[in-house]
Amino acid sequence: MSTRLIAFAAGAIDYLLKPISQDRLAQAVERAIKLHARPAAVAEQLANAQEIAESPHSRPVRKIVARSGDEYLLLNADEVFAFEADGDLVWIITAKTRYLATQSLKVIQNKLQNTSFRRIHRKALVNIDHVRKMSTLSSQRWLVTLSNNKEFIVSKRQVRSVRQLLNW
Between 52 and 110, the more confident residue is: 110
Model confidence pLDDT, tens digit, residues 33-87: 777 677 776 666 666 655 555 544 444 556 899 999 989 999 999 999 999 999 9
- β-pairing, 141-146 vs 131-138, is antiparallel
Beta strand 124-127 pairing with 82-86: antiparallel
pTM for the whole thing? 0.64
Mean pLDDT to the nearest integer, 128-142: 86
87: left (phi over 0), alpha (psi -120 to 50) or beta: left
> Strands 117-121 and 151-154, how do they pair?
unpaired
Distance, CA of 3 to chain centre: 26
